[in-house]
Structure 1
Amino acid sequence: MPARYFYIHAVNSKQIRLKKSPGDVFSIEITGDSEDKSCQAWVNVLDRKDGSFIVRYKVYNSCYNFQIHIKYKGLKVAGSPYSAVGMVHADECDCPMSNFDHWFERYGCAGENMKKMHSVITSNLRPFESVNFTATRRYIREKFNHPGSVSICNYVVKNNQVFRKCYGQYVGFKTFMDEILLSLARKVKLPDFELFVNLGDWPLIRKEDASSKEPTIPMFSWCGSKDTHDIIMPTYDLTEATLGCMGRVTLDMLSVQGNVELPWEERIEKGFWRGRDSRLERLQLVALSRENPDLLNASLTNFFFFRDKEEIYGPKEPYISFFKFFDYKYQVCLDGTVAAYRMPYLLAGGSLVLKQDSDYYEHFYSELIPGVHYVSIKSDLSDLVAKIKWAKSHDKEAKRIGEAGREFADQNLTPQSIFCYHAALFKAWSTKLVSPVKVLKGMGQAVQKEQTSKLIKCACPVKETEESNRTSRSKKQVNSEGKRDEL
């Protein structure tokens, strides 16, 4: 995992959990051995301000005798030190386990919470009992041959290597799909499979088409809707936050929890929203805010879709840190062009989320319960003011819903869950294919990046490397075994 992590829940002398932060009282040290004599790791402690902490750490080499030491004012905590069994590799190390089921269990993907989320996959894949791409591949490409408005990629994972050919004018978002597949392939030997991925925000496979004589097309997308049949993956935004945790991204599902500055009691009792003008209701929200400044703080940060309305709904407000959103008790979540991809982070911040009713959804929406994890508002925002007034007069219940939302995010949307969801989805999908999985003519390979950093040094077990059969195979061998088809 790019950033591994664990939780500390502080307790008092009677073993009762604290509800407020005890301050900077815990010290974390990681020890271990490596070819460089010592294990190199960066540790970051995130205070969630409720008596609990997230400790995340990034390992830079392959370590053995790996231990995590946790101390409170110099004294060992609970069972510290905690030891890892076997070798611990840096995320950049290309050391896949050969047995998928074994890895799936060891990675923590087989737990009860995970199983509940993975039931969404079963529902998503139900329309596809047997998929024959040999019969439908050409039809799929021709149906979505609209280069200016639709971009898709045909992916093949063969012998734990990733190949793809993309179609359309705007294919830059293939990077997100490349990265999650390559990251998984460094961890475990993936089953062979083929799929088509929609690189746009809007889902493509309309249910009305499924009622015709045309076959239902299996298309993987980042967003779904009530009138489409797309197979939904975690959004590219959430996937990037997972892959870039403690790296290139600053907003992720862990950092947002550790950068909320105020406890619930000190947050401002108003609804808060910032964003661009990608939906008419967002302009209406600004109007509501001006009519009810004691209840709402909502402003637009950019005009693109409704530039002719800037004089009415402007001026543009400057961007503020997403972490500062949680200075407010109530977070308004409105759709943009499709579902608002900020929903996971709003849940993680522990404020009460007021979510607009919508036909669009992300991969986890079906598991959210209104009134338990968030409060729903009508799509036309006609009850938003009333819902904020309700929250102000029912503070304990509003706080409880906010806490339940954060707990849901902890259990289902943090990095481990996102890796597990992808892995479970691809494994389940591989069992649906009846056509042979072959590398097709014209496909390019998405290759693992070279280990350019001198900090990162890997020592993969020889057995795993041989079983995965990856490091010694030449490009000629790949082409020969793949038998690249014309289709």
Structure 2
Amino acid sequence: MQLLGLDSLAVVLFVLAAAVAQDASASGTCMGDCDLHPSLLERVRKDVAWLDEAGGITDAMIRNISLVCDAKIKHQCNVKAVRMMIKDGEIYLNSLHPDWRLGPPELLGFLLELYETSKMYRLPDLEFAYNGDDDASSPIFDWIDRSSLRVTFHGGPFPLLAWSKSNKSMVQLVPYSGAFRCTDDSFDNLLARLDEIRRVAWPEKRTVAFGRWNEFCAQYMYEMPTLPSGESFICPRQWLPTLSEQHHEVMDVGAMGGTLRGQRVSAVPLMHQNAYKYLVSTDGWAISSKFDKYLLLGSTIIKAQSSRYGFYYDALRQDEHYVAAMNTSRDDILGVIEWLKSHDVEAERMAVATQQFAVRHLHRNARLCYYRTLMTELGKRMRFTPDCSQRKLCLPLGRFLDYLTTKRETAHACRYQEVLVRYGTGRGTPAYDSFSDEAIKELLADPKYWPRDTDIPPLPNEPYFPGAPRRLRRR
């Protein structure tokens, strides 16, 4: 990591202090407090409950993660399960994302947020994996038939963290931290501009349902059940722009790069979307990262039906924090918009309640509190003592984050210094010094690098990723 000049360091410290103060004022709590929304606490408990049935987290269970990429690394399997360990309060990577996938914020934001959590709270000794794919809703780790699953997993699945899931998935939900803190239009940046967002008063907003997105649809969209109207479900990102073309007086919804009323559809900054009373949210490759941000914009959210959800969705109430669409018929959004227009007071009340929820329960300290709670619950279910001597790779996360600040593709992918200036990276410790930049670079250069530390014989195929279809994209 390059040393910061005094001027740069002052700027970093100022930004950090401002962020800390903003978080505290938004939540009404101080740094170190951990007051989780009851529904989020219940979500954590639901997500870890299957581990009690499985007898807790065992060393054999963790070694099973090696089997994910046992035969040949294909279908990006080393992206879908990044192995991690917490030992004596420090976090280690037991596998690495391939170099060509570093850059997007999904994994980087998670690593930084988890690292910050480990510095604010004492986390228990633990081993787990994280789904580092951009499609965290992948059905690969869904499970229905427990008996067949035990055979496939040689005794049971392993704890896996992801930012999107369905009701039949065994993963543990975490925030989509990259979208919350890494991007220019991140949740944290929008929260810092809340006063500016609130300057657009409700009567000044356009009475139109607005939406912009890339036109791609997750595979699960094509597996949704038939609607009560008898119509087959169709991907909202494909269908709603068509409906908007027919009802432009109440809808301005389009896929970027496409056309809408003869005009090419282009992106609209989130800070400008609060000019509309109604914002339409749809899933993309998985749950929408923009949905979290829509909560802050002071508009009523119209959410298209989905079988996937994020870590805080249980705390949201339909008709209190959002209104649903495409859950009775393909075009029921038209009736939803008409109802909102004729119930303007209720619509505004809903927009205010949604914004208040986001400010109170989704700020950075609240997310770190969620991470701490999840790690604590997982730690209670550990049935062995993890140790780096039992793993072929044990790269300190602080060391890896330090490396990321020097790598061209990742140096500006997230605001690392908000955390690293305050807490350091472990520089000077034996574990840190055992990995040079060149050594890390060499590990990342192998796109099929996958440490194997299990005594289970290699598998003849990949039971976890049997040629799963890639996401569909249509123009």
* In structure 2, C-alpha distance between the alignment counterparts of 1:454 and 1:405, rounded to whole Å: 31
Aligned match of 2:314: 366
Secondary structure class of the residue paired with 1:349: coil
Contact 1:225/1:361 (CA < 8 Å) preserved in 2?
yes
Distance verdict in 2 for CA 1:328–1:147, change over 3 Å: same
Distance 1:335 1:423, change over 3 A: same
- The reply to whether residue 416 of structure 1 matches residue 372 of structure 2 is no
User: Are positions 1:330 and 2:278 aligned together?
Assistant: yes
TM-superposed deviation, 1:325:
0.8
Whether contact under 8 Å (2:396, 2:431) holds in the other structure is no
The 5 A counterparts of 1:447-458 are: 447=398
> Tell me, what secondary structure is at the counterpart of 2:371?
helix
What fraction of aligned residue pairs are identical, expressed as a percent? 18
Distance change (3 Å), C-alpha of 1:336 and 1:313: farther
2:18 maps to 57
The answer for the alignment partner of 2:62 in structure 1 is 137
2:243 maps to 1:292:
no
TM-score by length of 1: 0.67
Q: Does 1:230 align with 2:191?
A: no
Shift of 1:256: 5.3
| Offset, 1:236 | 3.4
Contact 1:352 1:399 in 2 (8 A): yes
Alignment equivalent of 2:94, drawn from 165, 168, 182: 165
Match of 1:149 among 76, 81, 92: 76
Q: Any gaps of 5 or more consecutive residues in structure 1?
A: 1-37, 45-55, 60-67, 69-82, 85-104, 303-309
The CA deviation string for residues 144-166 of structure 1, in whole angstroms up to 9 with x for no partner, is: 55533332111011122221133
In structure 1, what is the equivalent of residue 161 of structure 2? 220
SS in 2 for 1:287: helix
Partner of 2:116: 183
CA change 1:366–1:313 in 2 (3 A) is farther
Distance 1:446 1:120 in 2: 27
Which residue pairs with 1:276 in the alignment? 214
The structure whose RCO (Cα within 8 Å, separation 6+) is larger is 2
- Higher helix fraction (1 or 2): 2
Please report how far the alpha carbon of residue 264 of structure 1 lies from its aligned counterpart in structure 2 after TM superposition: 0.7
Provide the rounded CA distance (Å) in 1 between the counterparts of 2:237 and 2:290. 15
1:432, distance to aligned residue in structure 2 (A): 1.0
Q: TM-score, normalised by structure 2?
A: 0.68
Task: Specify the SS of the correspondent of 2:82.
Answer: strand
Cross-structure match for 2:395: 444
Residue 475 of structure 1 aligns with an amino acid whose one-letter code is: A
Within 1, Cα distance between the matches of 2:255 and 2:157?
A: 39
CA RMSD of aligned residues (A): 3.9
Q: CA deviation at 1:209?
A: 4.4
Q: Which residue number in structure 1 is paired with residue 337 of structure 2?
A: 388
SS at 2:286 equivalent: coil
Code of the residue aligned with 1:387 in structure 2: it is V
Match of 2:141 in 1: 205
Query: Is contact 1:335-1:358 (8 Å) kept?
Result: yes
Displacement of 1:252: 3.3
CA–CA distance in structure 2, aligned partners of residues 445 and 458 of structure 1? 17
1:359 & 1:289 partners in 2: Cα distance? Answer: 24
Q: In structure 2, do the counterparts of structure 1 residues 428 and 239 end up closer, same or farther at CA, with 3 Å as the change threshold?
A: farther
Name the structure where strand makes up a greater proportion of residues: 1
1:257 matched to which residue of 2? 194
Kept in 2: contact 1:132–1:434 (CA 8 A): yes
Q: Aligned partners of 2:417, 2:370: CA distance in 1, in Å?
A: 32
Residues in 1 aligned to 2:350 and 2:373: alpha-carbon distance in whole angstroms: 29
- How far apart are the structure 2 equivalents of 1:211 and 1:290? 49
Structure 2: which 5+ runs fail to align?
1-9, 151-155, 218-234, 407-415, 436-450, 455-475
Aligned length: 374
**3-state DSSP of counterpart to 2:358:** helix
Whole-angstrom CA distance in 2 between matches of 1:455 and 1:164: 21
User: Does 1:401 find its partner at 2:356?
Assistant: no
- By how many angstroms is 1:393 displaced? 0.5
Looking at structure 1, the residues matched to 430 and 144 of structure 2 have their Cα atoms a distance apart, in angstroms, of 46
Aligned position for 1:22 = none
1:430 pairs with one of 379, 385, 388: 379
1:403 Cα shift?
A: 1.0
- 2:174, 2:371 within 8 Å by CA — same for their partners in 1? yes
Change (3 A) 1:435 1:478: farther
| Structure 2 match to 1:6 | none
CA contact (8 A) 1:253 1:344 kept: no
**Equivalent residues of 1:438, 1:485 under 8 A apart:** no
Whole-angstrom distance in 2 between the partners of 1:456 and 1:218 = 26
Asked if 2 retains the 8 angstrom alpha-carbon contact of 1:210 and 1:216, the reply is: no
